[in-house]
Amino acid sequence: MISPYVRRQRLAVELQRLRDDAGLTHAELAKRIDESRMKITRLENGRVIRDGQAVVMKVIDALGVTGERWTALMDMARDATQRGWWASYGTAMGIRQSLYADLEAGAAGIREFQPFIPGLLQTPEFAHHRQLAGPEIGPVTYQLERAVEARQSRQRMLRRPDGPSYEVILDEVAVRRLAAPPAVFAAQVEHLIGLAAEPRVEVRVLPVGARIEGYVVPRSPFSIYDYPDTQDPRIVAVDTVTTDVVLNSMIETDQVARYANLYDRLRRATLTPRGQHRVPPCHRHRTHPHDRRIRS
């Protein structure tokens, strides 16, 4: 399935364009189809509404859409109302993790910059300790074991024959600073090395001393999602301390382009994936595997 979130965003833009072309306000269109103005507004904001497919059908019929265009919009409406596997977890896996699971669904390619080991590459033990650490700000709103279990479910897509390509730029600090007990962290780095050998996974390390073009310094981790249908928007998700900012190339075109440009600059400053420089052991811990090479 294609990300319901992404399809809702695309459908929202398409419906707004149709309404604008018809010269109708939200209230006028709502009256024409005998629905509330709020439903029209929610549709055009990419929000979930009850009876979504039926309302979309009313809208496009009222706006005179026919033929292949009608079919394409109804296909979008169907995809937008699908429930992914993550819905069965409710809030137990965490609202923020649910969003990432949604964005990952059906993606053709995922690229990330991360100053720490990303969720898609975490072992269950490492994920447990990271979840146990809790959020930096605010109360815990997920169930620990369910959140770890959901993270493993997200990782399965990387092993599917039709799964996405995945490339991550890891700040060197991610494989230097202990983010879990030493034995757990050592196993995590070994796991990372193994995953980097997978054909569709590429792990790149950004050295602390790297010279990035323009001397830019990323302020937050971010992820870029591309989908098989080129008409679907490119999505950028920026991970901040308390929330995730999601940018849509159909709306925030310039901002999405800036993140793509930033990613390319960071990528050019990384060590080459084959034969990356050795990363010295963290805290000189003799059993720590940081002197192993990370390569794809």
Q: At 220, which CATH number?
A: 3.30.870
244 with 177, same domain: the answer is: yes
Residue 94 lies in a domain: no
Question: What b/e string do you get for 54-89 counting C-beta neighbours within 10 Å, with b at 16 or more?
Answer: ebbbbbbebbebeeeeeeebbebbebbbeebebeeb
| Domain assignment of residue 166, yes or no | yes
Residue with tokens 């202990």: 178
Same domain, 134 and 249: yes
Give the percent of the chain with pLDDT over 70: 89
- What is the structure's pLDDT at 174? 93
**pLDDT 10s digits, 137-166:** 456 678 889 999 999 999 999 888 889 999
Are 97 and 84 a contacting pair, CB within 8 Å? no
- Closest Cα partner for 7 from 41, 61, 54, 46? 46
65: containing domain: 4-80
**29-38, 44-53, 128-137, 140-149 — which is least confidently predicted?**
128-137
How many domains is the chain partitioned into structurally?
2
| pLDDT over 80 (residue 291) | no
Place of tokens 């849509």: 248
Within a domain: 222: yes
pLDDT band at 82 (very low <50, low <70, confident <90, very high): very high
Looking at the fold, whether 67 and 116 belong to one and the same domain comes out as no
Is residue 197 domain-resident? yes
If asked whether residues 24 and 119 sit together in one domain, one would say no
Supply the pLDDT for residue 124.
93
pLDDT tens, position by position, 168-200: 999 999 999 999 999 999 999 999 999 888 889
Kindly state whether residues 169 and 285 are assigned to the same domain: yes
**Whether residues 63 and 176 fall in one domain:** no
Mean pLDDT of 107-116: 96
Q: What percent of the chain has pLDDT over 90?
A: 77
Torsion over CA of 172, 177, 182 and 183, rounded to 10 degrees? -30
Dist CA 114 CA 220 (whole Å): 8
- Is the predicted pLDDT of residue 58 greater than 90, yes or no? yes
Residue 267 confidence (pLDDT): 96
The mean of the pLDDT values for the chain is 89
Model pLDDT, residue 287? 36
In this predicted model, what pLDDT tens digit does every residue of 233-280 receive, in sequence order? 999 999 998 889 999 999 999 999 999 999 999 999 998 765 454 444
Cα dihedral 4, 8, 14, 19 in deg (nearest 10): 150
Residue 129 and residue 34 share a domain: no
Instruction: Please tell me whether residues 240 and 169 are part of one structural domain.
Output: yes
Asked if 159 and 265 sit in the same domain, the reply is yes
